[in-house]
Homo-oligomer: A and B are copies of this chain.
Amino acid sequence: MNWTGGKRPTISQVAAQAGVARSTVSRAFSQPERLTRETVARVLEVAKQLGYTPNPVAQALSTGRSRNIALVVPDVANPFFPPLIRAAQRKAEDYDLCVFLGDSDEKPEREDQLLERFASQVDGVVLVSSRLSDTQIWAYAQRMPLVLINRDIDNMLRVLIDSAPGMEDAVTHLAELGHRHLAYVSGPATSWSNAQRRTAFRNAARRQGLEVSSISANRSTYESGRKSAERVVASGATACVAFDDLLAQGILAGLADLAVAVPEQISVVGCDDVLGSTTSPALTTISNHCVAAGEVAISLLVDNFGGSPAVDVRHVLKTHLVIRNSTAARK
């Protein structure tokens, strides 16, 4: 005995048992108002008794809607994503949608493969911090509803986390503490967020008349941050802002290795606020509502089911600075 072709009752069996046509059973579930109260009751009774549930695959085939969506992220293990994934998943449930998860491992080719595989069996896709080119994304958006998180392309649905306000706060905060030379430790080169944050950082620093250094850590990992610590010290900056919390956490560790005291000798600011107070010292960071991002993306997607491609929606989420213990007055 095996499962395939198992004992799930079909609509025909319910129809036979209830003495009605298959279409009537179908309607008893989807448009009960078109049937007599009694008929509906009888059908549902039989259905329950038989343990019948409409087969979603068959429904998908005949209606063209699967009630499934896909969520693609560059790296599930990066702490920025889990809260977002979780929020999106929960929100999707509210709309009775199941969500496929794809991890592209930061590689455009993999992301492409995943999307290709998902394309024909979902009602829509949410792409988080996509590493694909604008053209590729555009092409997919022609085939199905698609929402971007942290990627800004015209005439598409996107939710963006605007680092500028938080970055402005951070730089001002550091300037007020007396720092005159700041460093920005950047993350993945292909990341829209990284470009956006770096720009916001530079603009804010220029306005405050501060000297800036730029250090590239490439990957957004703890180890990569740790290795960058040395360069932060070498740059001569007395405070730094990292692309994200993971990198900042690594920098904290790297500085500790070098016996550089934080925040006494160097102040460190993170970005994302996904680590809470779990670092030591507790990290001052730019908080972005990643939970909100996930929820908004799903809502946006659902609102655009059946709509037309090339709709221009730009939902921007603000950020703000959360001050903890990794920043202090310049010695």
Q: Which chain A residues have a beta carbon within 8 Å of chain B's beta carbons? A: 1-6, 8, 53, 55-58, 60-61, 64-66, 68, 71, 75-77, 79, 81-83, 85-86, 89-90, 93, 96, 98-103, 105, 113, 117-118, 120-121, 143-145, 222, 249, 253, 256, 276-280, 306-309
Complex: chain B residue closest to A1, CB-CB: B308
Partner of A309, one of B1, B68, B276: B1
Contact A307 B89 (CB under 8 A): no
Partner of A4, one of B1, B64, B75, B117: B64
Q: Give the shortest distance, in Å, between A42 (CB) and chain B (any CB).
A: 23
Contact A117 B90 (CB under 8 A): no
Contact B98 A99 (CB under 8 A): no
Could you write out 30 A-B pairs with CB less than 8 Å apart? A1-B308, A1-B309, A2-B308, A3-B145, A3-B306, A4-B64, A4-B306, A6-B144, A53-B120, A57-B60, A57-B61, A57-B120, A57-B121, A58-B61, A75-B86, A76-B85, A77-B82, A77-B86, A81-B82, A89-B103, A90-B103, A96-B117, A98-B102, A98-B118, A100-B101, A101-B101, A253-B277, A253-B280, A256-B280, A279-B280
Contact B121 A103 (CB under 8 A): no
In the complex, the 5 A-B pairs of residues with the closest C-beta atoms, listed nearest first = A280-B280, A101-B101, A77-B82, A76-B86, A56-B121
> Known contacts A6-B143, A143-B6, A145-B3: does B118 contact A103 (CB below 8 Å)?
no
Contact B249 A56 (CB under 8 A): no
